[in-house]
Amino acid sequence: MTETTTARDLFRAAYENRYTWDSTFPGYSADVTLTRGDESYTGKVRIHADMTFEVVEASDEKVKEEIKGQLWEIAIHRVRRSFEETHGNNVFTLGETDDTGAVEILVSGKAMGDRYKVRDNVVCLVHRHIRDVVVTINTFSTTDTGEGYLSHRYDSVYHDAKTNELKGSSVFEDSYEKVGDYYIMSQRLIRSEKEGKPEITEFAFSNVKLLQPVAA
């Protein structure tokens, strides 16, 4: 399989168009409220400049771990890594263009079997093998920050890598506010099913404050 420069360039441009925090990001603190049905839980969170995070004053240990999971998701997607650092060992080729204008990018090399779609300089589909699970993410809308895009509404579908059995799916809707020079998540809504019934989980972040940079 021969790589075309066009495929790598197209994917690189969309990858570099994602909104990430820069090297001077100081971290931030916020209050968090998790709401699900009639239940509501509160706590306080911090994401530090080195992307470590913590949850304090959470009233329920299971909820604390659930909030930690969201902080991990937030932080890992704001880390700024160069394209070569992340994808330098991958080979990209062009696939089909669908009826929405999204161009398929097929991957071989280190991440053999993964694929993406790019439309309007946005990675609108991610299909990745992560150990024994295949994750497929479709992005339906984005927030333009002027410094890159943030996914606004998207879904996430999980299949067993061996059997292709559906393991779960959720639809996400993320909102952001600009605090100082940085866009920080203010709300995440997750729509999913539990025991065949629809379920909505809301993570609301308020009182967001940037941390003071640590003196050298």
Query: Is residue 199 scored above 80 in pLDDT?
Result: yes
Residue 173 to residues 32, 33, 161: CA-CA distances in angstroms? 16, 16, 26
Q: How far is C-alpha 2 from the chain's CA centre?
A: 30
Q: How far apart are CA 43 and CA 50, in angstroms?
A: 21
Residue 1 to residues 9, 26, 108, 117, 121: CA-CA distances in angstroms? 17, 44, 9, 19, 25
pLDDT-based confidence at residue 32 (cuts at 50, 70, 90): very high
The amino acid present at 128, given as its one-letter code, is R
Cβ count within 10 A of residue 88: 10
Q: How far apart are CA 36 and CA 192, in angstroms?
A: 11
Cβ count within 10 A of residue 188: 18
pTM, rounded to two decimals: 0.89
- What number is the average pLDDT over the span 8-29? 96
Give me 39's structure tokens.
């239940």
- Do the bridges between strand 53-56 and strand 149-160 make them parallel or antiparallel, or are there none, so unpaired? unpaired
Query: Is residue 215 scored above 60 in pLDDT?
Result: no
pLDDT digits 0-9 by tens, 35-86? 999 999 999 999 999 999 999 988 788 999 999 999 999 999 999 999 999 8
pLDDT of residue 3: 54
- What number is the average pLDDT over the span 80-100? 91
Q: How far apart are CA 202 and CA 215, in angstroms?
A: 36
Residues 6+ positions from 54 with CB-CB distance below 8 Å? 45, 46, 48
pLDDT of residue 13: 96
With the C-alpha atoms ordered 136, 141, 142, 144, is the resulting torsion angle positive or negative? positive
What's the length of the chain? 216
pLDDT-based confidence at residue 179 (cuts at 50, 70, 90): very high
Which helix (DSSP H) or strand (DSSP E) does residue 126 occupy? strand 122-130
Percentage of residues of the chain with pLDDT beyond 90: 77
pLDDT of residue 135: 94
Residue located via tokens 């993570």: 203
User: Please, how many CA atoms are within 13 Å of residue 46, restricted to the half-sphere of its CB?
Assistant: 12
